[in-house]
Amino acid sequence: VTPLAVGVDVGGTKIQAVALGDAGEILDRERGDTPHVVDAVPGSTLAGAIESVVTTMLARLRTSPDDVVVGVGVPGMVAYDGTLVFAPNLPSANGARIATALATLPAHWRALCENDADCAVVAEHRLGAARGIDDVVMVTLGTGIGGGIISSGTLVRGRSGFAGEIGHMVVDANGPRCVCGGRGCWERYASGAGVARLAREAAHAGKLPTLVARCGGDPDAVRGEDVTGAAADGLDEALAVIDDVGWWLALGIANVVAIMDAAHVVLGGGLASASSVLLPAARRHLGALVEGGGTRPVVTIVASQFGPDAGAVGAALLASERLA
């Protein structure tokens, strides 16, 4: 009997679980809040919260826990043994060994832990927007930027499992401080936090008069969502900021393409909801930024097919590939 594959995506605010059917269809889903507790044993509160979300879902599916494999996607650097060694955007989980914790909890699930964007690229490559394409970069635009790379059909993991941390490529050595401790990382420009920062700068520079007026005249009150929303409505001053963000997005993509010659870039994560305006902006700039842009085959940029489910679906797929 093939065990039921469960995937869990741990985000900064929510834990999201899905159960996958044999054909990759989502049978059920469940959500819970991400705890931000620093434990004596790192991540034990988080593991308990994951167990609770998955147990609730399994009770509905009437599946015996023996027949379950669980994949967990987490935002940060995950070692081959499943340890989340560094999670700059979820620091309370630094050092967490989620898979080990899940295996020792009463449920005794066979479990693995993997970087969330690595999970997402597996979902898109096996079943989604990158199906049939073997050189793919997944860029997840959330609070930060996550990356998952498939090269010649294989997930690139690296010496310790840390490959694909593309959000922390330095694109301006004198740029703003990053949560990782560095300076001028790509995710300071092209993520949700990057849009918010570029929006605030534009507001203070007098480039967003309509939006500042809508916010009662306070430039600091203009949020990233205000800009992406107004851009989607066609407001020129907002589109100009999104064009800037698209340039930064294309710059990072060009760097990754220079290293691994991607055919296809899939954009996911929370900010991908703004893809109707971000995708055209990134496409517009990529040709001029990528080496040999006029002569090499066009690098396509598309939106994630699984959207907010990509991480959880990919985690479930990895669990069934590696554990079942």
Query: Binders of Zn ion: how many residues, by CB under 5 A?
Result: 5
CA distances from 188 to 83, 87, 171, 173, 251 (A): 26, 16, 9, 12, 13
Task: Look at residues 2, 16, 13 and name the one whose alpha carbon lies nearest to residue 313.
Answer: 16
Cα–Cα distance measured from residue 293 to residue 149, given in angstroms and rounded to the nearest whole number: 21
Token output for 280: 């055209």
- The side-by-side arrangement of strands in the sheet containing 300-303 is 154-155, 145-151, 136-141, 264-268, 300-303
Contacts of 151 (CB under 8 A, 6+ apart): 134, 135, 260
* Closer residue to Zn ion (CB): 4 or 166: 166
- Only one of the segments 34-42, 53-61, 93-101, 177-185 lies at the binding site for Zn ion (rule: CB under 5 A); that segment is 177-185
Using CB under 5 A as the criterion, what x/- string covers residues 202-241 for binding Zn ion? ----------------------------------------
Choose, by CB under 5 A, the member of 16, 111, 115, 168 that binds Zn ion.
168
Choose, by CB under 5 A, the member of 50, 180, 251, 256 that binds Zn ion.
180
DSSP characters over 41-78: STTHHHHHHHHHHHHHHHHHHT--GGGEEEEEEESSEE
User: Whose structure tokens read 């800009």?
Assistant: 227
Residue 116 Cβ vs Zn ion, minimum distance, rounded to whole Å: 16
Choose, by CB under 5 A, the member of 70, 121, 178, 256 that binds Zn ion.
178
146 binds Zn ion per the rule CB under 5 A:
no
Residue 157 Cβ vs Zn ion, minimum distance, rounded to whole Å: 20
* Closer residue to Zn ion (CB): 178 or 242: 178
Residue 168 Cβ vs Zn ion, minimum distance, rounded to whole Å: 4
Residue 267 Cβ vs Zn ion, minimum distance, rounded to whole Å: 19
Choose, by CB under 5 A, the member of 12, 182, 229, 293 that binds Zn ion.
182
* AA identity, residue 244: D
Choose, by CB under 5 A, the member of 185, 239, 253, 278 that binds Zn ion.
185
Contacts of 45 (CB under 8 A, 6+ apart): 35, 37, 39
* Closer residue to Zn ion (CB): 175 or 270: 175
Cα–Cα distance measured from residue 272 to residue 191, given in angstroms and rounded to the nearest whole number: 10
* Closer residue to Zn ion (CB): 12 or 182: 182
Nearest 5°: the CA angle 246, 249, 252 is 150
302-321: which residues touch Zn ion (CB under 5 A)? none
Question: In the complex, which residues of this chain contact Zn ion (CB under 5 A)?
Answer: 168, 178, 180, 182, 185
